[in-house]
A and B are shown apart, each in its own frame.
Chain A
Amino acid sequence: MTTNGSEMDASIIRGMTQPRITRRDLFKTAGAVAGAAGLSSGLSSVAGALPNSNVGSKTWWASQQVHHQLNFANWPYYIDTVSGTHPSLVEFKKETGINVTYSEVIEDNPAFYQRIIPSLSAGGSTGYDLIVMTNNSPQLGYLIQGGYLIPLDQTAMTNFNKYASPTVKNPVWDRGNKYTMAYQSGWTSLAYDANKVKSPGNSLSLMFSTKYKGQVGMFADPIELGAIGLLAIGVNPASSTPSDWSRAATKLRQQRDSGIVAAYYGNDYINHLKNGDLAISQCYSGDIFQARVNGSKNLNLLTPKEGLLFWTDNMAIPLYAANPRDAMKAMDFYFSPLTQAVVEYYVDYICPVPTAKNEMLKPTGWDKAALAAMKAEVGLTSTQVASAPTIFPTAAMNAISKPYYQFKSQTEIDTWNETFLPIVQGQ
């Protein structure tokens, strides 16, 4: 439907969402969803309700053996690569004898969740021992709350305890790192094409500028879209309220209806930026760094005064995984500064191990050969990568990092989606 004026929108949305909320409420009272009010706060308490409540306990872990086999599901372009092989996985095999089947099958959180949940809810293995999910997506919360992740062996996290950055230790979405360890973090912000945007300024208000009508790309993911909308109206997403959400939605709707937004994108926004179809786009920090390395020097990451949205992709072991011990070993291996130096040199997101910076500058072991082997493909010196504030953030950058809103119930997720989804759907 075409709508003018936000008042009308709000009433229509309320009107059309009312029956659904009622239905969900009914459903909840029927008790089929266990404790929907506890996505973040009551995480640990839910595990007790698991059918396999023994899984992940100390005695259970004590009986888990290395099978020399690991099925690792990850996102595309998210691991060190040189002519088709992954040096860190080669080294992992050398050190542990574990053979890794690495699949780049995760392209967004909800779709991957849809792929694995039928087997998980039927009590079967997903086929993966290690998966990577983003903290800002409700799906990671669903996995934890549904009891679909194996609690980690806290005694097998040596590197993590020693080297992990404070930004990923004991995070708000998984207190005590009971189920997850970070893989990479990143920022969501705006990117601009310096050939088209001569004076970008230092504010998110750039994305509302009528000067770039039809040339601004936004994310289709309602979580990302809503969060940057909140930041842009000067609200910290983490402490926002539903009334802030609708104010942000109003602003984003205006942006759309005045023709500023070209389209709402998934991961393909970066091609449109490179092709010159967009002057400004919501972006992930690592993509912009990689695009610059690959020749698009005109693309820049905006560091807005309102802040940068900080997210983390987390490694976790899905329930019924065949090789949990192997997965545990791999997770800790990725917290060695040597491994992270190699991964980060290629991946260019925010490194969860700050000391990997020194390692990148002065390699002390197997990473030396791996870094040298990748140099031609990466095309940057290790000094250039190590000194990038988007990879090893400065204190100032960390200070303006803003976390996402932490959903406390399914009702909140529904409300959020019903606030921001219609904008993307063209309603």
Chain B
Amino acid sequence: MSRLASARRWGRGATPYALGAPAVIWLIALFLIPLVVMLVKALETCSPITQACTMTWHWSEFSYVWHGSAQSIFTSLRFAAYATVIDVVLSFPIAYWIAFYGGRRKNFFLLMLLVPFFVSFVIRTIIWQFLLSSSGIILTVARDLHLVGPNYHVLQTSGAVIAGLAYNYLPFTALPIFVALERIDKNLIDAARDLYSSKVEVFRRVIFPLARPGVFAAFLLTFIPAFGDYVNQQVLGGISNTMVGTVIQNYFLAYSDPTSGSALSAIVMGISLIAIVLGGIAIGARNLGDYV
């Protein structure tokens, strides 16, 4: 074998690695290293003054933050689940309509769906605060029409937080479902109709199974960020609905306690992982690899 040929073969073998390198470096630098740093920090003891940390293998930090924050973790799980269900129920018909009836204007309709989200996340949420406040336009009118009592309020309630989450994450649900629906080969639907399937059966046995990967992606993109969200709770919520994101933020920023913040973040990541697997099973993934 000539030297040139072997070099060429080596070169060909290295190409996939070279092409994959940016992604690998990205993952190592921005995911793996921060993850390890976070886990290490959770086991360290830090001076509140200098923020200098020494490793003390302080495993009990995990049980400490768990005892203090379990309530907020359960609240977050519940709210994220409600918001995800609301989003899937709302966005499936929208995505379905755009995918099957959008015609030439598909892209325009998609743009219309996304336009509100060109405004920053926090600003959108604060605008909701104005809309829903007791002297805001909605409640003032509702009170004047005697639809609600004089002391009725929306802000600070769990409902306000869930509504905020559902609103803010809607495009993350709608887009993956749309992509999955759009990819469905229309011939399959015709074939099902030819074989005497009713409309309901077509949906149940052809469209929905084929849309599952999209629903699973929607679940990932909605549930996981909503689980860790702290903006909606802080802007729209009150005291009975503290979410775990707020607690983590407070540990880091308000109470200068990065150790507890890191430990709680690690717990939240673990729970997210479990939630992904359980969510995958619930949506009908036989093999997670099929859908991710």
Contact = CB atoms under 8 A, between A and B. Distances in A.
Interface of A: 1-2, 12, 15-17, 19-20, 23-24, 26-27, 30, 32-33, 108, 110-111, 113-114, 117-118, 121, 138-139, 142, 145-146, 214-215, 220-222, 256, 261-264, 268, 271-272, 275-277, 410, 413, 417, 421-422, 425-427
Interface in B50-65: 50-52, 54, 56, 58, 60-61, 63-64
B239 to A, nearest CB: 5
A355 B123 CA distance: 42
Contacts of A12: 67
A146 B49 contact: yes
Given A142-B48, A425-B72, A425-B250, 10 more contacts: A16-B64, A19-B58, A19-B60, A19-B64, A32-B52, A121-B51, A146-B49, A256-B239, A262-B239, A271-B129
Interface in B207-222: none
Contact of A30 (B54, B151, B254): B54
Interface stretch (B21-29, B103-111, B130-138): B130-138
B68 A23 contact: no
Contacts of A410: 48-49
A200 B114 CA distance: 48
A33 B50 CA distance: 8
B47 A32 contact: yes
B89 interface: no
Contacts of A262: 156, 238-239
B240 interface: yes
B56 A27 contact: yes
Contact of A142 (B49, B240, B252): B49
B56 to A, nearest CB: 6
Contacts of A15: 67
19 contacts: A1-B71, A2-B71, A20-B61, A23-B56, A33-B50, A108-B254, A110-B255, A111-B253, A114-B253, A117-B51, A142-B48, A142-B49, A262-B238, A275-B136, A410-B49, A426-B71, A426-B239, A426-B241, A427-B71
Interface in B134-192: 134-136, 151, 153, 155-156
Nearest to B70: A1
Contact of A1 (B49, B67, B155, B247): B67
Nearest to B71: A1
Contacts of B64: 16-17, 19-20
A303 B58 CA distance: 47
Interface of B: 45, 47-52, 54, 56, 58, 60-61, 63-64, 67-72, 129-130, 133-136, 151, 153, 155-156, 235, 237-242, 247, 250, 252-256
Interface of A is mostly: helix
Contacts of B130: 275
A33 B252 CA distance: 19
Contacts of B151: 214-215
Contacts of B155: 272, 277
A218 to B, nearest CB: 9
A118 B51 contact: yes
Contacts of B133: 272, 275-277
A72 to B, nearest CB: 23
Interface centre among B130, B134, B241 (most CB of A within 10 A): B134
A24 B46 CA distance: 9
B253 A110 contact: yes
A215 B49 CA distance: 37
Contacts of B238: 262-263
B51 to A, nearest CB: 5
B250 A26 contact: no
A27 B256 CA distance: 16
A422 B68 contact: yes
B254 A277 contact: no
B233 to A, nearest CB: 10
A96 B58 CA distance: 54
Contact of A121 (B52, B70, B254): B52
Contacts of A114: 51, 252-253, 256
B153 to A, nearest CB: 7
Sorted from nearest, which 9 A-B pairs have the closest CB atoms?
A276-B135, A275-B133, A426-B242, A263-B238, A19-B60, A16-B67, A142-B49, A146-B49, A276-B134
Contacts of B52: 32, 121
A2 to B, nearest CB: 7
Q: Which among A20, A108, A121, A142 has the greatest number of chain B C-beta atoms within 10 A?
A: A20
A106 B45 CA distance: 27
Nearest to A212: B151
Contacts of A23: 45, 56, 58, 60
Contacts of B48: 138, 142, 410, 413
A425 B64 CA distance: 14
A263 B68 contact: no
B54 A417 contact: no
Contacts of B153: 214, 277
Given A1-B67, A275-B133, A275-B135, A117 B50 contact: yes
Contact of B239 (A1, A19, A138, A261): A261
A9 B72 CA distance: 17
A113 B242 CA distance: 24
Contacts of A20: 61, 64
Q: By CB atoms of chain B within 10 A, which of A146, A222, A263, A413 has the most?
A: A263
Contact of A425 (B129, B235, B242, B256): B242
Contacts of A19: 58, 60-61, 63-64
A263 B47 contact: no
A114 to B, nearest CB: 6
B238 to A, nearest CB: 4
A352 B129 CA distance: 36
Contacts of B51: 114, 117-118, 121
Contact of A111 (B56, B156, B239, B254): B254
A142 to B, nearest CB: 5
Nearest to B46: A27
Contacts of A261: 239
A49 to B, nearest CB: 12
B253 A425 contact: no
Nearest to B238: A263
